[in-house]
Amino acid sequence: MTEEQIERYSRHIILKEVGGKGQKKLFDGKVLIIGAGGLGAPIALYLAAAGIGTIGIADADNVDLSNLQRQIIHFTPDVGKPKVESAKEKMQAINPDVKVITYKEWISAANVNTIIADYDFIIDGTDNFAAKFLINDACVLAGKPYSHGGILAFDGQTITVKPKESACYRCIFPEPPPKDAIPTCSQAGVIGVLPGVLGTIQATEAIKFLLGKGELLTDRLLTYNALRMKFREIPIKRRTSCPVCGDNPTITEAVDELDAMTVCDLKG
């Protein structure tokens, strides 16, 4: 580490759970963030600041004025710019040490395996069920630990999945809801600070995973309600009947959940 790096990361290095060795683990770590929106924004900023050596970020969208109320990595002059480019600029401005790899594409069965292959830990910051189920299946099948995050209105939920060791998303929700059955944030609204709370928890999980310290948020779904200002933890068990990580899986490769896709997902 250079003198400048020692100074930059001094508040990490001083922690006995991190130290110089831990900071080196973060440098060597590779984390993929899928979605450069509400959840992805704080995740990308904090992981870059923390000195995660390689950060991938995937999103096909461009910055829209209505994103700025919560997607704090994007600024007003970025409207119209690809989200991954806007995100990369801020991440490198915070920390030039970090290598940022951008994927300006929607995640699908065709590309998910290739994209996740190079990473140690994956973070789901997507906004639709087709992507959430696909990420779960691909990560479970490839044995990649990942963090699920979901938000809606004033509520959020997150769980960390260690494939075949802890409960996965399909252990809770065996299949996606029919399209348009559950409102999206653009339909139902979302309080702007909400993804900051959830995304920061997801980033914490990635950092803990790379450090190998603490206890991951496995086998428990953490839920948060901002109006009542309550966190709850619901114990979740791996299900032997889970279609992807159970005893007799029916899902053996990552497949697009076409029924869960909305027109919005497909517009590209």
Partner 1 sequence: MDITINGKETLLPDNPDRTIDSLLEELDVSQRLYVTVELNGEVLERAAHESTPVTNGDTIEFLYFMGGGAQ
| Gap between the Cα atoms of 257 and 107, Å rounded | 12
Query: Among residues 29, 51, 195, 196, which is the contact residue for partner 1, using CB under 8 A?
Result: 195
Least Å from the CB of residue 103 to partner 1: 13
Least Å from the CB of residue 263 to partner 1: 13
Under the binding rule (CB under 8 A), the answer on residue 229 touching partner 1 is: no
3-state secondary structure of 141: helix
Binding flags for partner 1, 7-46, as an x/- string (CB under 8 A): ----------------------------xxxxxx------
Of the candidates 16, 162, 36, the one whose C-alpha atom is nearest the C-alpha of residue 87 is 36
The one-letter amino acid code at 52 reads: I
CA distances from 131 to 15, 68, 149 (A): 36, 22, 12
β 146-152/155-161 pair status: antiparallel
Tell me the site size for partner 1, rule CB under 8 A: 46
Q: Which stretch binds partner 1 (CB under 8 A): 92-100, 205-213, 227-235, 244-252?
A: 227-235
- Evaluate whether 235 touches 94 at the Cβ level (below 8 Å): no
Residues near partner 1, by CB under 8 A: 35-40, 59, 61, 67, 124-129, 132, 149-152, 155-157, 171-174, 177-178, 181-182, 184-186, 188, 190, 195, 221, 232, 234-237, 239, 241, 264
